[in-house]
Amino acid sequence: MAEIARTVERLCEVSIKDYVNPYDLEWPESLDKAQWFTSPELISLYETPTYERLGEAARKRLSFFEAVNFFSINIHGEKSLIEGLAARLYKKGNDGISSYLHHFLDEENKHMVYFGGFCTRYAGKVYPDKKLVFRREYARGEEDFLFFAKVLIFEEIVDVYNVTMARDERLVEIARRINMLHHRDEARHLVFGRQIVKELFARHSPSWPSEALRGAREYLKNYLVSTWKEYYNPEVYRDAGIEAPYEAREEAFHTESSRAHRRRISEGCTRFLLDNGILDEEPAL
């Protein structure tokens, strides 16, 4: 806990120093859709036969809806995150981290201002969330551990996309800017996330029955896969004018180059989970 306390203190200082007003962001009145909004290599259909059949204009149009999907995924992820963070604020045992949870909450809300602003201004919609959560019983400390571990997995993947797209000069400026602003805060969230996940696992998992430990590991591996599945959205493909959108999703998800892409993007995250004994085998991505 002493290590976390030092990290929390340092992250709070940086959050205060880096404080930004999300309403300062300048939004173009309208956007020319004949531009790149997502790095082509990060488009979910990249290197699939469907993608190969598209001309450049159609690929750029697809890149716009992929950006709307990426921002929509973030909105839904951050909504759940805000709920979970708010529930843990000043909860018994969380005194040492509550000061940082305030920044975390504030920054996640700002991100939704960016993401929601882009989606509603330029697409007129946010793609709906298709996830459902069912209540279940947890071993002692398991629910908190899984909450922060899920947040970490989600944010680690997103951050690789953010870093890549913030640097990609082919992209429309507003798309680059949103990716950059998100990454600036996420870098801190990831430092906090890795420490809290490691600490909660070390504190609670030794007391879990072996079945609970196996279940938690299985759940996280499946969570990683289901997080990736959100990136393959048939509604995106339909909006981009692609015929047979569900078939395109199946094809894209099971293409070997897509698997390699998911493994590459998730590598930092899975390495962390394996090195700390949180996972005991590579997830089948």
Partner 1 sequence: MRTEEEIRQSLRDWIIKTSGKILPEELTDETPIIERRIISSLQVMDLILFLERLSNKAIEVDDLKPGVFQNIDSIYKNFFEGGSIDRP
Q: From the list 117, 234, 259, 263, which residue makes contact with partner 1 (rule: CB under 8 A)?
A: 234
Nearest approach, Cβ of residue 25 and partner 1 (Å) = 28
- Binding segment toward partner 1, per CB under 8 A, in 59-67, 80-88, 124-132, 186-194: 124-132
Burial of 182 by CB count in 10 Å (0-12 exposed, 13-18 middle, 19+ buried)? buried
The verdict on 230 binding partner 1 (CB under 8 A) reads yes
Which residue, 30, 7, 177, 176, is CA-closest to 100?
7
> Judged by CB, which is closer to partner 1: 15, or 233?
233
The verdict on 249 binding partner 1 (CB under 8 A) reads yes
Instruction: Evaluate whether 215 touches 274 at the Cβ level (below 8 Å).
Output: no
Nearest approach, Cβ of residue 31 and partner 1 (Å) = 23
- Binding segment toward partner 1, per CB under 8 A, in 11-19, 25-33, 171-179, 222-230: 222-230
Q: From the list 120, 207, 226, 257, which residue makes contact with partner 1 (rule: CB under 8 A)?
A: 226
Nearest approach, Cβ of residue 59 and partner 1 (Å) = 23
The verdict on 133 binding partner 1 (CB under 8 A) reads yes
The verdict on 131 binding partner 1 (CB under 8 A) reads yes
Amino acid letter for position 194: R
3-state secondary structure 88-111: HCCCCCCHHHHHHHHHHHHHHHHH
- The CA–CA distances, whole Å, from 227 to 40, 49, 74, 155, 285 equal 20, 23, 11, 10, 11
Cα three-residue angle 269-227-168, rounded to 5 degrees: 70
- Go through the chain and tell me how many residues it has: 285
Number of residues that bind partner 1 (CB under 8 A): 17
| Residues binding partner 1 (CB under 8 A) | 128-134, 219, 222-223, 225-226, 229-230, 234, 246, 249
